[in-house]
Amino acid sequence: MSSLNPCAPVFIPSPRPLPPIPHYLAAVNAAGYAFVAAYPRHPLADFAAEEVRTAVDERALLLHQKEELREKMLVFHLNKFLLGTEEERRVVKSKEWFKKQEVSIVLEYKTTCAKLGQRPEVGHWFF
Residue 40: helix, strand or coil by DSSP?
coil
Say if 5 falls within a structural domain. Answer: no
CB of 117 closer than 8 Å to CB of 22: yes
Q: Decide if 96 is inside a domain.
A: yes
How many other C-beta atoms are found inside a 10 Å radius of the C-beta of residue 12?
6
Structural domain contains residue 17: no
User: What is the chain's pLDDT, residue by residue, as a tens digit (127 residues)?
Assistant: 445 566 666 666 566 665 566 666 666 667 777 777 777 777 777 777 777 777 777 778 888 888 888 887 777 767 666 666 676 666 666 666 666 766 677 778 778 877 777 777 665 554 3
Residue 41 lies in a domain: yes
Question: Which of 122, 107, 125, 121 shows the shortest CA–CA distance to 16?
Answer: 121
Look up the domain containing 33 and give its range: 22-124
Count of structural domains within the chain: 1
Q: Is residue 3 part of a domain?
A: no
Helix axes 23-38, 45-83, angle to 10 degrees: 150
Judge if pTM exceeds 0.75. no
